Structure 1
Amino acid sequence: MTGYALRPRATDGPADQTPFPILWEPARIPHSPLLRPGDLSIGTLGPDGTTSMVALGRLAHRLAHLGGPVVHAVPYDSFEELLAAVGTPSGPPYALVPGAAECATRFFWSPRLRLDATFSSPTPDYGIAARGPRLREGVLRLATLRETRRLVELLDGLEGGRGDYDIAWVPAESTMHAARLAAEGQADAAITNEPGRVANRLVFQVSRPGVPMVWMVFGPAVVNQPTPASVEGAEPHER
């Protein structure tokens, strides 16, 4: 898949008003490409607007602040597709995965990958969104990721609660995909995030604030050693 550089525009102001600490896996610090100038592709769950892409944007800004590379985002339709591609000749060398991803454990056990860094970043607001101003009682076709199904509990905040609805799950690959399914009429509502709601012109029927999420950056199991000239004058690395 084709990546694109994550650079804040001058009119946007700082992408990260409150810089967050990144925890580096100790043995990788001296030679990690995450800390070298240049260009670096990182894959995660797309398209633009998913919670993963929001987190990748914050990471890109933070790495640039530390003197690291310009990050090129490579979006994938699912974490399974990302796992199959990352570290291969045709895929990105790095992957960004949330701790809540159902298949996160498989990234740890991949022989091509090794955990390089972790950080915490809040998710956008989440909620149940639909095209109209209110949900109709009865069968409710609800588009969602498996990881966000539990947010169906938000319906308890509506008058009558979940008892007014017979939930029919509509599988989605991402928050943006879920929102698009609702916008196209393939679902009555979606469990999505604020960017997904806005991009698809949906209305939150009920919502909740975002939560702090742990994000993991997986890189190649073997890192090429830089030449002495490439590390001369490097800044001390954050721990």
Structure 2
Amino acid sequence: MASPTEARPTDPLPTDPLLSDPLPTGGEAAIDTDLVDRLVDEYSARWTGLVDRWATAPGTVLGTLGPSGTSSHLAADFLAERYPISLRLYPTFDEVLAALLAGEVDVVLVPSAYSGLTSFHWHRELELLGFFPRATPAYGIASRAEGPGDKPELRVSAMWEVRRIYHEVVPAELRDRPFTWVDAESTQQAAEILAAGGSDLAVTNDPGVRAYRLSWVANRPGAEIVWTVFGSRTRPLTPVE
């Protein structure tokens, strides 16, 4: 086994594209302000172009994951409050993608945290129109008012993408309790499953807790993620005459 000295690479330090010089071993890096300005300009131009298209085609339909109260719906609603677009919600992101390809919606909103985002990025018929950062609501583990009970094995309803939150926030008294996952397509469906008795706990968000009158077992602040807006390459938005 090589010693730490022997294992240390002798090649030049890697270069960060946002830095004017190779990454330093200490101190502050010199920022390439020209590159930063170009990135800012590109972001601004892309978003301005999208907003201008919405302005010239009022009534644009944006599709995303529902039902009402999902983090995707809240981010879409944030846009609908500011731009002349309407929303259409779907039970799964597969259906969101199919709706865009079929022309049922004009654009779609997909979070960077979605595990299947590559199916949008790599689709030949789609183009990335814009993106923006926005925090989600609080997430965590919820139960019905009476608590999870003392079953030998718990059932936890959750989307695949947020299951890690369970392990992050689970309290000590539940940490060693065996459990099985109950699949859900959204945070709201996870809460709905719990409220209907299909699970003992749910990984959901704050709107889900309030909508289904659940109780927090443990939670954490929301995460700031990047929201992506995709449209069709072959069916661009049509300006209103």
- The TM-score, its normalising length taken from structure 1, stands at 0.75
Structure 1 position 224, deviation (Å): 5.4
Report the counterpart of residue 53 of structure 1 in structure 2.
73
Identical aligned residues as a percent: 35
Structure 1 position 199, deviation (Å): 0.4
Report the counterpart of residue 7 of structure 2 in structure 1.
none
Structure 1 position 167, deviation (Å): 1.4
The gaps in structure 1 that reach 5 residues or longer are 1-21, 231-239
* C-alpha contact (below 8 Å) 1:142/1:169 kept by paired residues: yes
1:143 aligns with 2:160: no
* C-alpha contact (below 8 Å) 1:133/1:205 kept by paired residues: no
Aligned partner of residue 87 in structure 1, secondary structure: helix
User: Highest CA radius of gyration, 1 or 2?
Assistant: 2
Q: 1:166-203 deviations in whole A, cap 9, x for unaligned? A: 11100001000000000000011110000011001100
Counterpart residue type for residue 63 of structure 2: G
CA RMSD of aligned residues (A): 2.4
Structure 1 position 132, deviation (Å): 2.6
Dislocated runs of 4+, deviation >4 Å: 224-227
Q: 1:150-176 deviations in whole A, cap 9, x for unaligned? A: 0111454x233511x111100001000
Report the counterpart of residue 76 of structure 1 in structure 2.
90
Matches within 5 A, 1:192-203: 192-203=204-215
Change over 3 Å in CA distance of 1:224–1:206 after alignment to 2: closer
- Report the structure, 1 or 2, having the larger strand content: 1
Report the counterpart of residue 106 of structure 1 in structure 2.
119
1:123 aligns with 2:136: yes
Aligned partner of residue 54 in structure 2, secondary structure: helix
Structure 1 position 26, deviation (Å): 3.8
1:134 aligns with 2:154: no
Report the counterpart of residue 184 of structure 1 in structure 2.
196
Structure 1 position 24, deviation (Å): 5.3
Counterpart residue type for residue 210 of structure 1: G
Change over 3 Å in CA distance of 1:224–1:128 after alignment to 2: closer
Structure 1 position 88, deviation (Å): 1.7
Alignment size in residue pairs? 198
* C-alpha contact (below 8 Å) 1:87/1:219 kept by paired residues: no
Change over 3 Å in CA distance of 1:180–1:210 after alignment to 2: same
Q: Quote the Cα distance in structure 2 between the aligned partners of 1:30 and 1:55.
A: 16
Q: 1:4-52 deviations in whole A, cap 9, x for unaligned? A: xxxxxxxxxxxxxxxxxx9456498289523435211000000110000
1:168 aligns with 2:189: no
Counterpart residue type for residue 94 of structure 1: V
